[in-house]
C-alpha cells in the first residue's frame, strides 16, 4: 500500500484501509480479508485484497484518473474461527457492533481480542464506525462448485445466505466404559451423534439452499475406556430464506430439548453468530455482469453460500460481489485453487466495475 502511495490507516479493531486520494467525494472501496482457518488455502480473501491493489497500480501505470478516491480494505477476523462472530472487523467498521464490545470478545483458546491486537501491533487509533464508502465491491473466489459445474467464468453475486452458528454443550456423567451398563449411562456422545444426524437430514429434507454442518466436536475426557462427561459441538446452519432459516433453527432447538430429556442430559446452547440473509444492490450487480460480458466472459447470477465482508458493507452503501471459479469447488482446504486465467478475468472485471462506480450516482 505504501509503495503505491496510498494513505494507510488502521482503526481500533485492526481494519487496514489504503486509500488512493484522487478525485473527490467518498471513495469507491474494494477489499476482503487476509485471515484464514487452520486448514485454509491461499486464495480465500487474499485474492480480493491483492486484486484491489492491482486495480490501483494499473490505473497509475496507465494514467487513469478516477473521479473518486479508490480504497482497498483488509478487514479483521472475517473467518471468526478464533474470535466469533465472523466478519467481525467489517461489522464494527459499519457500526453493527461497538468497538468496546468487540475488543472484549474472548477467543476459543481464551485470550481477549483487544489484548491480541495490542500484542501483534494492530490496535489502531482510528475510531469506528468509519465514514461510508460511495460503493463497495468485493472480488472473491466462489469457494464452491457452481461456476465450474456450469462452465461459467464470472459470477455476479446476488446476495449472501443467512448464517446461524450455535455452540451446543452436552453434559452427562463420566464413568467406567466396562462396568457401566448401557441402560444406566448418561452419555453425551449419543446426543451429539443424533443431533449431527438430525441436522444433516434436515438440510436434505429442506433441499434448495439449506445447508447444515457440524464443524467442531470436543469430547471430554476423550479417553478410550471412559464414558465421556461432556461434548461441545458447533452447528453451522445457513439459508438464503430468513423464514426457512428460522424454521430450521426452531426444529433443531426442539430436537435438542428432546435429546436432553430422552438421554437424561443437560444441554446448553450459545449463539456464536447470527446474520440474516443479505440482498445486494441490483445496480452494482448489473454493472458487474455487463462488464464481465463485454470483456468476453461467460457470466451468471448466484447467491453466496459463504459469509463475506461485503454483507456488512451492504448495510451502509451500494454493494455487490464478483466470483471466480474454485477448482473442484474446494475452499478452506490447502488444495484450494483458481487458475491464473480466472484470477486475471476477475481482476479485470473489478477494475472496470470500480471505475464505473466512480461515475455512478446512487441518489
Are 21 and 137 members of one domain? yes
Residue in this structure with the C-alpha cell 423464514, named with its chain if needed: 243
Flag whether 324 is in a domain: yes
**Total structural domains within the chain:** 2
Model pLDDT for residues 131-158, shown as the tens digit of each residue = 999 999 999 999 999 999 999 999 999 9
Which residues on adjacent β-strands are paired with residue 273? Answer: 165
CATH number of the domain encompassing residue 149: 3.40.630.10
Are 25 and 130 members of one domain? yes
Determine the average pLDDT of the residues in 36-58.
Answer: 97
Which of 248, 272, 296 lies at the terminal end of a domain, its last residue?
A: 272
Flag whether 178 is in a domain: no
Q: 175-176 and 162-171 as β-strands: parallel, antiparallel, unpaired?
A: unpaired
Confidence category of residue 352, pLDDT binned at 50, 70, 90:
very high
Which of 257, 272, 287 lies at the terminal end of a domain, its last residue?
A: 272
Are 140 and 56 members of one domain? yes
Model pLDDT for residues 233-281, shown as the tens digit of each residue = 999 999 999 999 999 999 999 999 999 999 999 999 999 999 999 999 9
Are 240 and 281 members of one domain? no
Q: Which three cell numbers stand for residue 316?
A: 451502509
Model pLDDT for residues 71-111, shown as the tens digit of each residue = 999 999 999 999 999 999 999 999 999 999 999 999 989 99
Which residues on adjacent β-strands are paired with residue 139? Answer: 322
Are 268 and 294 members of one domain? no
Are 264 and 290 members of one domain? no
Mean pLDDT of the chain: 97
Flag whether 189 is in a domain: yes
Are 235 and 333 members of one domain? no
Does 363 have pLDDT greater than 90? Answer: no
Q: What pLDDT sits at residue 314?
A: 98
Does 36 have pLDDT greater than 90? Answer: yes
Which of 224, 247, 272 lies at the terminal end of a domain, its last residue?
A: 272
The answer to whether 253 touches 168, Cβ cutoff 8 Å, is: no
Confidence category of residue 208, pLDDT binned at 50, 70, 90:
confident
Flag whether 21 is in a domain: yes
Q: Which three cell numbers stand for residue 329?
A: 469447488
Are 260 and 309 members of one domain? no
CATH number of the domain encompassing residue 201: 3.30.70.360
Q: What pLDDT sits at residue 239?
A: 97
Model pLDDT for residues 295-308, shown as the tens digit of each residue = 999 999 999 999 99
Flag whether 166 is in a domain: no
Identify the domain containing residue 227 by its residue range.
185-272
Are 267 and 346 members of one domain? no
Flag whether 168 is in a domain: no
pTM of the model: 0.89
Flag whether 174 is in a domain: no
Contacts of 116 (CB under 8 A, 6+ apart): 107
Three-state secondary structure call for residue 279: strand
Model pLDDT for residues 157-204, shown as the tens digit of each residue = 999 999 999 999 999 999 999 999 999 999 999 999 999 999 999 999
Flag whether 172 is in a domain: no
Are 205 and 228 members of one domain? yes
Task: Count the Cβ atoms, other than its own, within 10 Å of residue 142.
Answer: 25
| Three-class DSSP labels, 79-132 | CCCCCCCCCHHHHHHCCCCCHHHHHCCECCCCCEHHHHHHHHCCCCCECCCCCC
Are 145 and 40 members of one domain? yes
The answer to whether 22 touches 70, Cβ cutoff 8 Å, is: yes
Rounded to 10 deg, the angle between the 242-263 and 188-206 helix axes is 150
Are 155 and 206 members of one domain? no
Amino acid at each position: 500500500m505504501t509503495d503505491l502511495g496510498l494513505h494507510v490507516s488502521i482503526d481500533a479493531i485492526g481494519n487496514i484501509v489504503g486509500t488512493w486520494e484522487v478525485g473527490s467525494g467518498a471513495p469507491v472501496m474494494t477489499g476482503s480479508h487476509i485471515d484464514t482457518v487452520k486448514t485454509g488455502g491461499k486464495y480465500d480473501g487474499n485474492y480480493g485484497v491483492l486484486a484491489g491493489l492491482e486495480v490501483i497500480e494499473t490505473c497509475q501505470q496507465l494514467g487513469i484518473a478516477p473521479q473518486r478516491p479508490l480504497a482497498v480494505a483488509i478487514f479483521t477476523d472475517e473467518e471468526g474461527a478464533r474470535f466469533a462472530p465472523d466478519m467481525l472487523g467489517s461489522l464494527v467498521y459499519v457500526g453493527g457492533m461497538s468497538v468496546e464490545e468487540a475488543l472484549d470478545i474472548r477467543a476459543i483458546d481464551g485470550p481477549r481480542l483487544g489484548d491480541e491486537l495490542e500484542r501483534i501491533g494492530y490496535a489502531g487509533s482510528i475510531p469506528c464506525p468509519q465514514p461510508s464508502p460511495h460503493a463497495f465491491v468485493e472480488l472473491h473466489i466462489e469457494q464452491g462448485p457452481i461456476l465450474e459445474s456450469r462452465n461459467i467464468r464470472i459470477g455476479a453475486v446476488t446476495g449472501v445466505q443467512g448464517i446461524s452458528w450455535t455452540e451446543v454443550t452436552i453434559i452427562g456423567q463420566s464413568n467406567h466404559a466396562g462396568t457401566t451398563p448401557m441402560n444406566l449411562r448418561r452419555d453425551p456422545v449419543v446426543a451429539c451423534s443424533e443431533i449431527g444426524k438430525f441436522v444433516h437430514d434436515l438440510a436434505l429434507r429442506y433441499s434448495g439452499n439449506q445447508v447444515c454442518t457440524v464443524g467442531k466436536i470436543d469430547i471430554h475426557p476423550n479417553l478410550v475406556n471412559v464414558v465421556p462427561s461432556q461434548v461441545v459441538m458447533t452447528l453451522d446452519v445457513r439459508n438464503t430464506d430468513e423464514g426457512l432459516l428460522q424454521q430450521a433453527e426452531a426444529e433443531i432447538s426442539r430436537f435438542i430439548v428432546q435429546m436432553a430429556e430422552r438421554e437424561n442430559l443437560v444441554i446448553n446452547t450459545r449463539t456464536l453468530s447470527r446474520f440474516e440473509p443479505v440482498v445486494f444492490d441490483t445496480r452494482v450487480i448489473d454493472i458487474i455482469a455487463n462488464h464481465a460480458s463485454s470483456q468476453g466472459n461467460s457470466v451468471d447470477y448466484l447467491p453466496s453460500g459463504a459469509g463475506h465482508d461485503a454483507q456488512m458493507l451492504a448495510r451502509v452503501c451500494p454493494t455487490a460481489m464478483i466470483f471466480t471459479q474454485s477448482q473442484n469447488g474446494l475452499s478452506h482446504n490447502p488444495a484450494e485453487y483458481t487458475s491464473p486465467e480466472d484470477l486475471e478475468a476477475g481482476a479485470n472485471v473489478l477494475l472496470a466495475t470500480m471505475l464505473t462506480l466512480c461515475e455512478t450516482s446512487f441518489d
